[in-house]
Structure 1
Amino acid sequence: MGIFDAAFDSLGGVLADQWKDVVTVAPFDEHTAVAPGIRKSSQNGRGANMGAEDILSNGSIIFVPENTAAFIFSQAGIEQVITQPGGFEYRDGEASVFDEQDRREKGLGKIILDQAVDRIGFSGMSSEEKRVAFVNLREMRGLKFGTRGPLAYNDFFYGTDLEVFSYGSFSVQVSDPELFVRNFVPANVSSYSLDDPQARSQLLSEFLNSFIAAVNSLSATYRVSQLPSQTNEIAAAISSEDENAGTWPERFGLRLAAVAIENIEFSDESRELVRQFSEKKMGVRAYEDVSQRAANVAAQQMIAQGVRDNGLGDGGGMLFGMDLAQSLNPQNASTPSSQGSPSATSLDDQIETLKKLKDLLDLGILSQQEFDAKKREILGL
């Protein structure tokens, strides 16, 4: 009785699976890496393809969307990979009475009889098994990361190791779909997402190890506050590493596409170090400014006193000395006795000084005798 049941089941299965299939894929979400192929069973209320989900008939159409790769799996594994977008006619499935080439080569009766006899030996099941899955070739973005503990960053500006926490996201892209399916996706799986805890944990651990090494390689060049603007260099350093995330292309057919650092925070201890450093630096700058101003004032007073000592009187000394103080660099100024000698002053300086003396004479501040005496002194007469 079991043989007769198997015969009826086999014949019913053969007839149901004669329909050619139209296979496509459901929409991907942001982190979907592999999605199963979906057989259309009806359209606008028409059609009732009730064939088995793991049987593909010759002449079936597989629609491959942009930026995806279609994988056809048999019992032995990957049978075929389709990377070109568009409609693909499948020819390596079970013969179908609805396929013109099969009818011409085998005839209707032989197609049904051969398949029915084959299935009886397997209790009504087909020995064939074909599945279709699609691999996402787009950039899969927004994979969040965060350092679990403080990251030591030797900041050249502060000259010390700072402890920082970093947060952000990275994106990956399948670069070799066949290698990705063979080495990263678990066996016999036609649906896989990077939101899977085990997949995310593996990628995140390796990424963080590479991220820490890449960030520290920049510490001799960039301040910690400049790191968010150096994401391209960080991504390049990670990709060129010989371990962890740098090996993804060769191990998994997966590459790091981009890194985005959203925030870098100091630990409490490092924040206090930076605050103390900033306060000390501001104090040093303020002290230097006050010291410079005090030195300038002292030099100006010394110049004015020197002019008064050389016979110009209190009023003339004050005006003439302050005028010289404005035109001289106080740090390089010497006493008027040396400035007044012909060997220490140029002709232009002598003429300029005489012009100033003449202005004081015209204002009545200097007498004619004082002017003449000072003129002889300046000209070395």
Structure 2
Amino acid sequence: MGLVQAVVGAVGSALADQWKDFYTIPDGLPATAALFAAVPRGTNAGRGSNTRGSENIITNGSKIIVPEGYGLLLFQDGAITGFAAEPGGYEWRSDHLDSQSIFAGNGIVSPLIKQSWERFKFGGQPGSQQAAFFVSLKELPENRFGTQSEIYWDDGFLGTQVGAVTRGSYTLKIVDPILFVKNFVPARYLQTGEVFDFTDMDNAAAGQLFNEVVGSLAPAFSLYTNDPAKGNRITKLQQDSLGFAQSLSVAVENAYQWKSDRGLAIVKTAIVSIEYDENTRELLKTVQRADALAGSRGNSNLQASVAAGMQSAGENSGAAGIMGLGMASGMMGGMGSLQQPVTPAAPAAPAAADDPIARLTKAKEMLDLGLITQADYDAAKTKALGL
């Protein structure tokens, strides 16, 4: 009885696989899907007849449609035999016996007899495996990262180690599909045709990428803030999605060889939040105050302070108001705003020698006048900030 069943199964499967198929991407595909099997359209509004063909056989003459933004990978017995990146329609052609079809110019009797005999040896099953997979060539969004505790890196502008807790997301792109499939995609996705999605929480390979990105954040921050072309400012991170993506891509490549070993690259980043530790917050406040008093901005701030003092003096009556107005006028005269001569005021008390803001402001003025070098100013800044 088993022998009869094998013969019937062999002939039946060979007959079903004579039909040409029409392959394309599956319905309801998520935007984050990276790799998935091409599916045959065996029916069309109930009119199709090819409903019993083998899942792992592609008949000669079958059409495969490659949409925009996707690449097509062809497999024969587990090996990659072809790749197409251009959108359009393609026709399957193979010398393998299981792909022979009476509808593709391979004869009428010979393909059916030979296939039936070969499949009889395997209990009615085809003795080969052929498959077509689509791989996304688009940017794949919603890949998230985040740290549970502070990460630390050396900051070139602040001249010391800083720390922060951060979270965000990045877009990923498959830049070498063959390398990606050979070296990274687990075998079960190729065997079952299950959708490979980087955002799938059950995808262990995607989870590994998350851990590697988190481990690369500190080196990426260091690369970004120590790049003179970016101004060495940590505060630019959240506005520079492409610039930080480049630093993060370099960091993961240096540590884990994403591009050279896996065919993957980070394209864009979006940092949702950065929460600095207490020491870093204090440093940033000090630098912000120093910046506000430096150069032309310092003059503008000083003039605004004088104007506020004059307004306050005008609103007050009596000696206190007159004194405030006189002090404001003297300061404005010292800046050249008043042209008439004034009685020289008593020399102002010298600023406290240990005032870091005053020393840093003076050093910035000397730098702007060309009296000291940038290196001298950086040394003065480091000393004034106590770094």
TM-score where L is the length of structure 1? 0.69
Corresponding residue for residue 366 of structure 2: none
Distance (whole Å) between structure 2 residues aligned to residue 295 and residue 25 of structure 1: 76
What pairs with 1:1-381 in structure 2 (closer than 5 Å)? 1-27=1-27, 28-49=29-50, 50-92=52-94, 94-99=99-104, 101-103=105-107, 108-153=108-153, 161-188=161-188, 189=190, 190=193, 191-197=195-201, 198-220=204-226, 221-241=231-251, 243-244=254-255, 247-268=257-278, 270-271=280-281, 297=330, 323-325=340-342
Q: Is the 8 A contact 1:153 1:224 kept in 2?
A: no
- 1:142 Cα offset (Å): 2.1
Aligned residues: CA RMSD? 3.7
Distance (whole Å) between structure 1 residues aligned to residue 49 and residue 83 of structure 2: 28
- 1:97 Cα offset (Å): 1.6
Describe the SS at the equivalent of 1:325.
Answer: coil
Distance (whole Å) between structure 2 residues aligned to residue 67 and residue 281 of structure 1: 47
Q: Is the 8 A contact 2:246 2:267 kept in 1?
A: no
- 1:287 Cα offset (Å): 11
Describe the SS at the equivalent of 2:225.
Answer: coil
Describe the SS at the equivalent of 2:38.
Answer: strand
Distance (whole Å) between structure 2 residues aligned to residue 269 and residue 5 of structure 1: 78
Corresponding residue for residue 376 of structure 2: none
Q: Which moved more, 1:36-45 or 1:162-171?
A: 162-171
Distance (whole Å) between structure 1 residues aligned to residue 46 and residue 10 of structure 2: 28
Distance (whole Å) between structure 2 residues aligned to residue 260 and residue 109 of structure 1: 62
Distance 1:140 1:281, change over 3 A: closer
- Which has the larger Rg? 1
Q: Is the 8 A contact 1:31 1:140 kept in 2?
A: yes
Corresponding residue for residue 309 of structure 1: none
- 1:268 Cα offset (Å): 4.9
Q: Is the 8 A contact 2:77 2:130 kept in 1?
A: yes
Q: Which moved more, 1:138-147 or 1:226-235?
A: 226-235
- 1:52 Cα offset (Å): 1.3
Distance (whole Å) between structure 1 residues aligned to residue 110 and residue 177 of structure 2: 39
C-alpha offsets along residues 50-77 of structure 1, whole Å, 9 cap, x if unaligned? 2111111111111111111112222142
Distance 1:179 1:157, change over 3 A: closer
Q: Is the 8 A contact 1:211 1:234 kept in 2?
A: no
C-alpha offsets along residues 71-104 of structure 1, whole Å, 9 cap, x if unaligned? 22221421222222111110115211222x212x
Q: Which amino acid aligns with 1:67?
A: G
Q: Is the 8 A contact 2:170 2:268 kept in 1?
A: yes
Aligned length in residues: 303
Describe the SS at the equivalent of 1:96.
Answer: coil
Distance (whole Å) between structure 1 residues aligned to residue 139 and residue 180 of structure 2: 14
Corresponding residue for residue 336 of structure 2: none
- 1:150 Cα offset (Å): 0.8
- 1:22 Cα offset (Å): 0.6
Q: Which moved more, 1:114-123 or 1:22-31?
A: 22-31
Q: Is the 8 A contact 1:153 1:219 kept in 2?
A: no
Q: Which amino acid aligns with 2:225?
A: S
Q: Is the 8 A contact 2:76 2:131 kept in 1?
A: yes
Q: Which moved more, 1:10-19 or 1:186-195?
A: 186-195
Distance 1:123 1:297, change over 3 A: closer
Distance 1:274 1:42, change over 3 A: same
Describe the SS at the equivalent of 1:324.
Answer: coil
Distance (whole Å) between structure 2 residues aligned to residue 74 and residue 174 of structure 1: 22
Distance 1:125 1:287, change over 3 A: closer
- 1:155 Cα offset (Å): 5.3
- 1:131 Cα offset (Å): 1.5
